Structure 1
């Protein structure tokens, strides 16, 4: 149940209690009134019929906040029964305390105001027709009653509108919160998809590419060595895939970041035949897993680009620790490229990874001097 429905349900429940109490008290007063038994029976019967109609139809219309033709028709039938009760026994006039709020809940405002004036005229008319009572006093009482009833009705309408507006506002806020939660969930799902895409690109895809390259090597003298490298790469890929599925840190990081980057440089040399030097500066220290993953993947991607595109004669890998940050730098002396036009998934993935840990990626490339890829993260 929404907040709006709960507010309206509570309002209807309290109205039911109020109407029931007034109806019971007035019915008892009519039953013991100083009037002929036949008139008392007619009055009590009319009041009972009003109560039944309220339970069967009126209550449902109030619950759905209806003020259409059907609701007005039910209201006028109840007013007719109320008039019968008053003509039979004037004591039934006290039911006005329940009838006036009922009018404002079941009829449009203008019709409700006119109806309040009409029902207050019923006791005066009954006294005039029977020749009982003081007409001037009755008119004065009816006027005060009508004015009080209209004021009370307008107050009820204002309170109901305020409650409805408040309930609508709360419902809108709940809907907005649900929308924010949905969008947040979708953003989380998309971020996880992007992360997995980067993991697959940086590990499995590159590993499979290396396997294909090694197996397709045509030099018979190197075939056994190439096949051994292919088997080792396949095993590493299997370990990486298991780590990804288990949502663990990369298997390559099990021996620490410096050794992991060193192994990447060694594998590069074994697979490409191009020497790749590796050195560490500063004092190595343990970093958050997310930071180590970003640095390792950057080294992997930079070496992969050097093997595929640079046609380099030499590659240098640097892992530099300082007090405020850690950098991984991969330089090659091969063919450079236009950094403005580079739009491959690898560089985009490195930039996205760097941004996730507050780092920066710098790419410098020139046809004469080669390419330098540097990723720095605060640590």
Structure 2
């Protein structure tokens, strides 16, 4: 198929994707924490120092569960993230003073700096965490040669985490921008639908004013004239004219109702009306009543699509109606040959159908090719 116009996803899907996959970060941080604890116990100068380091690393884990995780997962604002990093820094520094091997916690703490802070603040925080080991060894060993040996690893840790962290923040920012754009487009579509409904109401108000309202005013005036008339013949003439005017207005009212409600929906459900158009209708989901506006839009879309199929396709079209929890969909598929949806046409069919669907907040999808089948899909939120 040469063309596919996708349905818009809910705007909150992009923002919820981060939270839905955050358990992978939980697992990674847990593996790092357990590894650091085991390594500290194995390499500590004494069991007391090893267990002290384990307790301090466990304190970081508790702080992460109670404060840091919620901040990172839900992307909250405020000082909770800074408070978490400050507490983790104190506990981490204390753990390194007990066992130098506790510095392997950097594999979890350095990425967290970029999950909490913007890059311009995350890089200094990252540098501070990575420098703790060197500073502690300076006060313990007082060996400049050892410090020089460790500096390249510190620089590498800061460089690698800064590059990856900055790139990750840029990707997330682009996702947020996309989510904001989707929300803006959804709001614009809703506004277009509202303006379309307002224009339709104004049109109907004008039709009613120009026909029924003026006709009823004439009826009232003729009846008043008949009541005031002393000559019975003239009074009968006024009443006869009022009766003719009332009949004309009744016809106008019926015409307006017929224009608003298709004859196929007169006393029938949407499923029954569609089955009169296509006896082989397929229905998915639990059938439930919809608003009159949605019924009319779906029925008109089916009529237009089936009319186009009869004109241009070589076989019978299939119709499917699907009831979802938050939407209802209509799909009409014919065997072809189809057309190029990107080609400019002078007809009003598809453009009029799309405008009608958008007035109720729905989306029209057209998939076709000059040599293949054509599928017209409508999805309307309910």
Normalising by structure 2, what TM-score? 0.55
Residues 204/38 of structure 1: CA separation in 2 closer, same or farther (3 Å cut): same
Residues 53/233 of structure 1: CA separation in 2 closer, same or farther (3 Å cut): farther
User: What residue number does 2:98 align with?
Assistant: 88
The answer to whether the 8 A contact 1:18-1:98 is kept is no
Which fold has the larger relative contact order, with Cα–Cα distance below 8 Å and residues 6 or more apart in sequence?
Answer: 2
CA apart distance, 1:152: 1.7
User: What residue number does 1:72 align with?
Assistant: 82
User: What residue number does 1:184 align with?
Assistant: 196
User: What residue number does 2:61 align with?
Assistant: 51
Q: Which one of 209, 218, 221 corresponds to residue 221 of structure 2?
A: 209
Partners of 1:42 and 1:237 in 2: how far apart? 99
Partners of 1:158 and 1:42 in 2: how far apart? 39
The answer to whether the 8 A contact 2:218-2:242 is kept is no
Residues 28/102 of structure 1: CA separation in 2 closer, same or farther (3 Å cut): closer
Tell me the secondary structure at the aligned position of residue 165 of structure 2: helix
Residues 212/67 of structure 1: CA separation in 2 closer, same or farther (3 Å cut): closer
Q: Does 1:155 align with 2:162?
A: no
The answer to whether the 8 A contact 1:243-1:249 is kept is no
Q: Does 1:121 align with 2:127?
A: no
Residues 56/186 of structure 1: CA separation in 2 closer, same or farther (3 Å cut): farther
Normalising by structure 1, what TM-score? 0.56
The answer to whether the 8 A contact 1:30-1:40 is kept is no
Residues 47/12 of structure 1: CA separation in 2 closer, same or farther (3 Å cut): farther
Residues 76/238 of structure 1: CA separation in 2 closer, same or farther (3 Å cut): same
Tell me the secondary structure at the aligned position of residue 32 of structure 1: helix
Aligned residue pairs total 244
CA apart distance, 1:202: 4.2
Deviation digits for residues 277-324 of structure 1 (CA, Å, limit 9, x no counterpart): xxxxxxxxxxxxxxxxxxxxxxxxxxxxxxxxxxxxxxxxxxxxxxxx
The answer to whether the 8 A contact 1:87-1:126 is kept is yes
For the aligned residue pairs, the C-alpha RMSD in angstroms reads 3.1
Residues 248/176 of structure 1: CA separation in 2 closer, same or farther (3 Å cut): closer
User: What residue number does 1:199 align with?
Assistant: 211
The 10-residue stretch of structure 1 (72-81 or 237-246) with the greater mean CA deviation from structure 2: 237-246
CA apart distance, 1:228: 2.7
CA apart distance, 1:67: 5.8
User: What residue number does 2:277 align with?
Assistant: none
For structure 1, list consecutive stretches of 5 or more residues without a partner in the other structure. 251-379
Residues 114/38 of structure 1: CA separation in 2 closer, same or farther (3 Å cut): same
CA apart distance, 1:66: 4.7
Q: Which one of 133, 153, 157 corresponds to residue 145 of structure 1?
A: 157
Deviation digits for residues 234-271 of structure 1 (CA, Å, limit 9, x no counterpart): 44455456556654469xxxxxxxxxxxxxxxxxxxxx
Larger radius of gyration: 1
User: What residue number does 2:234 align with?
Assistant: 226
Partners of 2:58 and 2:131 in 1: how far apart? 22
CA apart distance, 1:231: 3.5
Which stretches of structure 1, 4 residues or longer, exceed 6 Å deviation after superposition? Answer: none
